[in-house]
Amino acid sequence: MLVVSCTKSTNSTSSSPSIEDGTFQYKVNGNLVTIKNISFADGEYTMFSKQVLGTVISKTGYLFHAEKGVNNAWGFGIVSDSLTIGNYTYDTTYLAASTIATTMIYNGAQSAIFYAGDYISINITSYSGGFISGNFTAKLTPLPGGGASPDYSKKGTTVITEGQFKNIKCIY
């Protein structure tokens, strides 16, 4: 008797594992962080919100916020009247003109775009039906507590790799 078994193999060019809808995932200096859209009440959520140009807001954009308790959070903005699939890269030059900060908290320590060489590169891969997906990388500078200036020798030492987000709801 001959028994043959076959399995379907899918070759993927992505080195990152697939993530669930509503999930924001990244590595901070090699350490994986996953934030899911559970609920505001549970202190773990992800969201985009469209902010329209007005008297207080200087440019139309999409603001992203993710939080997992008080020790892990992200905030960044994409300036665009109409978000499209493609790459959006922001550094200190752009942030000075746009006034949209990029900041993250990892294990209670905050980092941000602060010095030349710091950046965030966001690649929107899908925007459909009010849900946004993509990937990102960043180099940020750790910020000391108490209002002290960041240590220049530590610029760009918070390295974000393998960042991805999948079907994050956009609030209009």
Residue from 102, 120, 121, 122 nearest 112 by CA:
102
Asked whether residue 12 is domain-assigned, the answer is no
Asked whether residue 66 is domain-assigned, the answer is yes
Query: Per-residue pLDDT for 12 more than 70?
Result: no
Rounded to two decimals, what is the model's pTM? 0.84
Per-residue exposure over 19-50, b if at least 16 CB sit within 10 Å of its own CB, e if not: beebbbbbebeeeebebbbeeeeeebbbbbeb
HSE toward the beta carbon, residue 149, CA cutoff 13 A: 4
Report whether 122 contacts 136 (CB < 8 A). yes
How many domains in the chain?
A: 1
Task: Print the domain residue range for 105.
Answer: 23-171
pLDDT-derived band at 55 (thresholds 50, 70, 90) equals low
Q: Can you give the pLDDT at residue 47?
A: 96
Asked whether residue 113 is domain-assigned, the answer is yes
Largest CA distance in the chain: 79
Asked whether residue 9 is domain-assigned, the answer is no
Asked whether residue 14 is domain-assigned, the answer is no
Kindly report the average pLDDT of the chain as a whole number: 87
Q: Can you give the pLDDT at residue 58?
A: 73
Query: Per-residue pLDDT for 13 more than 90?
Result: no
Asked whether residue 3 is domain-assigned, the answer is no
> Which residue is it, tokens 């992800």?
46
Q: Choose between 16 and 5: higher pLDDT.
A: 16
Q: Kindly report, residue by residue over 75-91, the tens digit of the pLDDT.
A: 999 988 889 999 999 99
Asked whether residue 7 is domain-assigned, the answer is no
